[in-house]
Copies of this chain bind each other. A is one copy, B any other.
Amino acid sequence: MPVDHEERRKQIAEALLRIADTEGLQSASMRAVAAEAGVSLRLVQYYFTTKQALLLDALARLGTQLQARMDRFVRAAGTPPTPRSTVTAILTSILPTDAESRRITRTYAAYYTLVLGDPALEKQATAQPDLLEGFLARQIGAAQESGEVAPERDPVMTAAGLLAMVNGLGSSVLGGQRTGDAALAVLTHHLDELFGEPR
């Protein structure tokens, strides 16, 4: 058995994600995934016994991709990293402004309806935002100590608000209500207001 299981699983899971991105999860039948991945239906069943398992694995991979993108953005944000550059990097990395972020955001959106109502998926999907929110809150707290952010702001509330705003902005972009650049402008306006003026 010289086949690399992980490789095949990745190949199939990413086919699922591709379909979720372009046509939505409702079009991601086992057969469609198999065709997209260029394998037989049986193989999809073989590597992921059930559809639920495939969905869950693909969602985890999507999370990893987003994490990698955020890391990349944070690293590219500037040396030395300041709280402001870090927060800005993370939040802008989530916004659907380029091809990759649009893809990721759309795919997450495709999962959204599915996640509600399925506690198994729910746990998987809420763990990451919780950590992220705490991290952002700490960054804002640090910015407060260095005087960049007004002391009367509550770091936890502010972090939660910013993250929710980015989420909402992302939705509005996907819904065609706003362009990605417009959403970015809204975000930067609020960041400018939170930290000192322009930069």
Interface of A is mostly: helix
Counting CB contacts under 8 A, is A146 at the interface?
no
Contact of A168 among B154, B166, B174 (CB under 8 A): B166
Q: Which of A38-46, A47-55, A68-76, A111-119 contacts B (4 or more CB under 8 A)?
A: A111-119
Number of copies: 2
Counting CB contacts under 8 A, is A130 at the interface?
yes
Counting CB contacts under 8 A, is A122 at the interface?
yes
Contact of A116 among B109, B158, B169 (CB under 8 A): B109
Residue of B nearest to A171 (CB): B167
Chain B residues with CB under 8 A of A163: 168
Counting CB contacts under 8 A, is A176 at the interface?
yes
User: Mind listing 29 A-B residue pairs with CB under 8 Å?
Assistant: A23-B117, A26-B113, A109-B113, A110-B113, A110-B116, A112-B113, A112-B171, A113-B113, A115-B175, A116-B174, A122-B176, A125-B175, A126-B175, A152-B193, A157-B185, A160-B169, A160-B172, A160-B178, A160-B186, A161-B165, A161-B189, A161-B190, A163-B168, A164-B168, A164-B171, A164-B172, A164-B186, A165-B168, A168-B171
Where the two chains meet, the residues of A that have a C-beta atom closer than 8 Å to any C-beta of B are 23-26, 106, 109-110, 112-113, 115-117, 122, 125-126, 129-130, 152-154, 157-158, 160-161, 163-169, 171-172, 174-178, 183, 185-187, 189-190, 193
